[in-house]
Structures are given as structure tokens and as C-alpha cells.
Chain A
Amino acid sequence: KNQVEQSPQSLIILEGKNCTLQCNYTVSPFSNLRWYKQDTGRGPVSLTIMTFSENTKSNGRYTATLDADTKQSSLHITASQLSDSASYICVVSGGNRDDKIIFGKGTRLHILP
């Protein structure tokens, strides 16, 4: 069964610290993997996208990695800011149809001052 599992479910860190969020998937075939940020009460916003041949992609203080062999991805946030408090969703696309897009349940990140 195609699944996307994210860990941890929630995370609390102090402002200025780094953190890493994990995403494991069993989606096959694999097309691409995205990380989205979703602020409370808002729709998800794309942070990064990686295809099979890419193993790292950065967007400012966000760096995503992908290991297609082990089917794992991580999102590293450097020097966290209060505005990073949000849910981070891993999304994996498989196949050629939109109904093959699988969303993880997200990691809820809280940044404390």
C-alpha cells in the first residue's frame, strides 16, 4: 500500500536552534517528493521539490534531502525563527495521475522564544 509516514508527529524547539523532520515513503513508482509548509488556518505552501535524481534541495534556511534507495527524505531547518511554527507536510507523487499523490500527516513544529 502506498504510504507516507512522517516523524515526529510534533516537535518543540527554541528559537535559533536547528531541527530535522523525517519522511519515509512506500509509494511506487516514484515521481517526485515535495515538502510543504502549512501555517495555521492557511493552505499548504510548497518549500521544495525533488525528483528521483536529486538528493538535496535548498530553499533559504530549509534544506531537503532524498535517498531514493531507502525511500527516505528529511527536511532540515537551520536557525529556526518564530515564523517557522507550522505543520510541515511531506508529499510523494507516484505514477502519472493526480490520484497517485500521497500526503503525509505532517509534523507540527512549535518554535519557542
Chain B
Amino acid sequence: NAGVTQTPKFQVLKTGQSMTLQCAQDMNHEYMSWYRQDPGMGLRLIHYSVGAGITDQGEVPNGYNVSRSTTEDFPLRLLSAAPSQTSVYFCASSYKGGQGGYGYTFGSGTRLTVV
């Protein structure tokens, strides 16, 4: 039981490049989310999904796309990287989401630098 696995752990991109941050969970959780964490700020929700085939925008969705074709995987795509997207990205999953009293399990994070 690996929990939530994020890859890569570190990435450097040039402005304008695109890439996909991978997230996979093996706990059969319905809910999955992507957050970014910047110095001096709380985690901010980018996109989330309440089940396969369903996604919705969070607080800071611009510049990011997601898809949820399977329960296990929830990749985050950066369409055209910008320096403002330099951050640490966390993927999280939960059995029934934050409101259901079930805690979120977080991945170990992807540290992205855009130069």
C-alpha cells in the first residue's frame, strides 16, 4: 500500500514548456486534489475531482489542466510554464472528501522551478 505517489520529486522547466505532474493513489479513494504551496501562504487548491470522469476548478486553476480517466490517477498538466508557477505541488486523496470527516492523504510533493 504505497498511499499517494507523486512524480517527479523535482523538475526545472523553461518558460513556455509544458509538462505533466503525475499522481497515483492505491487506496481506492474517490476524491483527489492538487494544491500548490508557496512561501508564506497556505496550500491553495488548483483542481479537484470527486470521482473518475469528474473534475472541477479550485482557487487557482489558471494555467493548469487536469483529467481523471481512472480512480487511481489524477495528472496535472502545465500548458505553458511561467515563472509564477514555481512552487511545491501536492496531490492529495480522500475516501469521501474533506467534508465527510475523512482526512486527506498527501503525496510527498513535486518541487517545480520555472526559469
Q: Which A residues are closer than 8 A to B by beta carbons?
A: 4, 31-32, 34, 41-46, 49, 51, 89, 91, 93, 95-106
Which of B14-22, B42-50, B68-76, B79-87 participates in binding chain A? B42-50
Selected A-B contacts with CB under 8 Å, 28 pairs: A31-B98, A32-B98, A32-B101, A34-B103, A41-B109, A42-B108, A43-B4, A43-B90, A43-B107, A43-B109, A44-B90, A44-B104, A44-B106, A45-B106, A46-B104, A89-B42, A93-B99, A97-B56, A98-B31, A98-B50, A98-B58, A99-B56, A99-B57, A99-B58, A99-B59, A100-B99, A103-B43, A105-B42
Give the docked Cα–Cα distance between A51 and B108 (Å). 27
CB of B25 closer than 8 Å to a CB of A: no
**A32 vs B89: C-alpha distance in the bound complex, in angstroms?**
24
Query: In the complex, what residue of chain B is closest to A4 when comparing beta carbons?
Result: B42
A51 partner residues in chain B, CB cutoff 8 A: 101
Q: Contacts of A45 on B, CB cut-off 8 Å?
A: 106
A94 to B: closest C-beta gap in Å: 8
Which chain A residue has the least Cβ–Cβ distance from B45? Answer: A99
Among A43, A97, A98, A106, which residue has its beta carbon within 8 angstroms of that of B42?
A106
State the Cβ distance, A71 to closest chain B Cβ, in Å: 17
Closest 6 pairs between A and B when the two form their complex, measured CB to CB: A43-B106, A103-B42, A46-B103, A93-B98, A101-B98, A103-B43
- Determine if A96 and B99 form an interchain contact, defined as CB atoms under 8 angstroms apart: yes
Of A32, A43, A103, most buried by chain B (CB within 10 Å of CB) is A43
Proximity string of chain B (25-69) to chain A, C-beta cutoff 8 Å, 1 when within and 0 when not: 000000101010000111111001010000011110000000000
